[in-house]
Amino acid sequence: MSQFDIAQTIYNFSAGPGALPKPVLRRAAAEMLDWHGTGMSVMEMSHRGKDFIAIAEAAETRLRALMDIPGDYRVLFLQGGATGQFVAVPANLSSATGVADYVITGQWGQKAYNEASKYLDRINVAAKTNPHTYVPPPGEWNLSGSAGYVHITLNETVNGVVFETIPDTGEVPLVADVSSIILSEPIDVTKFGALYAGAQKNIGPAGLTVVIVREDLLARTRPRTPAVWDWYEMAKSGSMLNTPPTYAWYLAGLVFDWLADQGGVTEIAKVNQRKAEKLYAAIDGSGIYANPVAVPNRSRMNVVYSVTDASGAASPDLEKKFLAEAKDAGLVYLNGHRSVGGIRASLYNAMPESGVDALVSFMKEFENRHG
Ligand SMILES: *Cc1c(COP(=O)(O)O)cnc(C)c1O
* Average pLDDT score, the chain: 96
The reported pTM is 0.97
Which ligand 1 atom minimizes the distance to the CA of 154? 13
Domain boundary pick from 240, 261, 282: 261
- The pLDDT value recorded for residue 1 is 46
From ligand 1's centre to the CA of 198, what distance in Å?
Answer: 6
What's the number of domains the chain is made of?
2
Q: 164 with 218, same domain?
A: yes
pLDDT digits (tens, 9 = 90+) for 164-199: 999 999 999 999 999 999 999 999 999 999 999 999
Same domain, 139 and 228: yes
Instruction: Sort strands 11-12 and 331-332 into parallel, antiparallel or unpaired.
Output: parallel
- Both 115 and 63 in one domain: the answer is yes
Mean pLDDT, to the nearest integer, of 244-265? 98
Among residues 35, 68, 111, 177, the one annotated as catalytic is: 177
Q: Same structural domain for residues 140 and 89?
A: yes
Residue 139: Cβ-neighbour burial (10 angstroms; 0-12, 13-18, 19+): exposed
Q: Is 281 inside a domain boundary?
A: yes
Q: Is residue 4 part of a domain?
A: no
Q: Are residues 255 and 276 in the same domain?
A: no
* Phi-psi domain of 16 (left: phi exceeds 0; alpha: psi -120 through 50; beta: other): left
Handedness of CA 20, 26, 32, 37 (dihedral sign): negative
Whose CA is closest to 76, among 182, 190, 245, 213? 213
Among 246, 261, 276, the domain-final residue is: 261
Shared-domain flag, residues 149 and 267: no
The active-site residue, picked from 201, 230, 249, 258, is: 201
User: 82 CA distance to ligand 1 centroid (A)?
Assistant: 5
Task: Determine the average pLDDT of the residues in 36-60.
Answer: 98
Q: For residues 193 and 184, give the distance between their C-alpha atoms in angstroms, rounded to a whole number.
A: 20
Cis peptide before 137 (omega within 30 of 0): no
Residue 286 placed within a domain: yes
Q: Which pLDDT tens digit goes with each residue over 320-347?
A: 999 999 999 999 999 999 888 899 999 9
Task: Print the domain residue range for 195.
Answer: 33-261
CATH code of 349's domain: 3.90.1150.10
Residue nearest atom 8 of ligand 1, based on CA coordinates: 81
Residues 6+ apart with CB under 8 A from 109: 102, 103, 151, 152, 153, 156, 177
Whether residues 106 and 220 share a domain: the answer is yes
Could you confirm whether 35 is annotated as catalytic?
no
> Is residue 27 situated within a structural domain?
no
**Binding-site residues, ligand 1, Cβ < 6 A:** 16, 81-83, 108, 153, 157, 177, 179-180, 198, 201
Q: Is 68 a catalytic residue?
A: no
Three-class secondary structure of residue 96 per DSSP:
coil
108 has catalytic annotation = yes
In a domain, 1, yes or no: no
Specify whether the CB–CB gap between 84 and 197 falls below 8 A: no
d(CA 225, CA 241): 14
| Residue whose CA lies nearest to ligand 1 atom number 5 | 82
Same domain for 230 and 281, yes or no, is: no
In Å, how far are 78, 154, 241, 252 from 205, measured between CA atoms? Answer: 13, 21, 21, 7
